[in-house]
Amino acid sequence: MEKQNNNNEEIPVQNKVKKELSEAKDFAKSLKLEEIKEGGWFVALLAKVVQSYDRNARAEYLQQKYPGLPADEIADKRISLAVKYATLAGGITGAATSLNQVAVLGTAGATVAVMAGAIGVEMIYLAHIQMRLILDLSVIYDLQLDADDPEDVMMVFGYALGVTPLDMVGKGVMNAAGAGTKYAVKKYISKGTLKSVQAFGRRIGIKILQRTIIKYAVPVASAAVGSSYNFIATKSVGKIAKSHFKNRGKVTEELRTLLSKRNLYSISFPAAVMYMIEVDGKMNAKEKQMYKAMLARMRFEEHTLDEFQRLISSEHNIIAAVKEIEDIEIRSSLIRVLALIAIYDGDFSGEEEAFLVKLANTLDVVIDIDELKRQSEEYKVIVKKSIGQKTSEATLKATKGVKNVATVTGSTVSNVLKKVVKRKK
Quote the pLDDT of residue 136. 94
Quote the pLDDT of residue 391. 34
Residue pair 366/360 in contact (Cβ under 8 Å)? The answer is: yes
> Looking at this protein, which amino acid is placed at residue 4?
Q
Helix, strand, coil percent values for the chain (each to nearest 5): 75, 0, 25
Running DSSP on this structure, what letter comes out for residue 280? T
List the Cα angle 98/35/109 in 5-degree steps.
40
Quote the pLDDT of residue 408. 40
Quote the pLDDT of residue 149. 65
| Sequence spans of domains, the chain | 8-249, 254-423
Phi, psi of 280 (to 5 degrees): -95, 10
Rounded to an integer, what distance in angstroms lies between the CA atom of residue 286 and that of residue 408?
14
Task: Outline where DSSP puts E strands in 229-349.
Answer: none
Say what angle helices 285-296 and 268-278 make with each other, to 10 degrees: 170
Rounded to an integer, what distance in angstroms lies between the CA atom of residue 115 and that of residue 101?
10
> Looking at this protein, which amino acid is placed at residue 30?
S
| Nearest to 186, CA basis, from 150, 154, 148 | 148
State the distance between the two ends of the chain, measured CA to CA, in whole angstroms. 59
- Specify which residues 367 forms β-bridges with: 421
Residue pair 128/31 in contact (Cβ under 8 Å)? The answer is: no
Ordered DSSP codes for 290-352: HHHHHHHT--B-S--HHHHHHHHT-HHHHHHHHTT---HHHHHHHHHHHHHHHHHTS---HHH
The CA-atom distances, in angstroms, between 34 and each of 37, 39, 152 are: 5, 8, 26
Residues 6 or more apart whose CB falls under 8 angstroms from that of 211 comprise 161, 229, 233
| Three-class DSSP labels, 76-107 | HHHHHHHHHHHHHHHHHHHHHCCHHHHHHCCC
| Nearest to 89, CA basis, from 10, 7, 15 | 15
Quote the pLDDT of residue 365. 92
List the Cα angle 213/217/221 in 5-degree steps.
125
Averages of pLDDT over each 10 residues, the chain, 425 residues: 49 81 86 83 91 89 90 94 90 61 48 62 91 92 72 83 60 36 36 69 87 66 67 90 78 75 89 90 77 82 86 94 93 90 78 92 90 74 44 41 41 52 59
| Nearest to 240, CA basis, from 41, 390, 401, 384 | 401
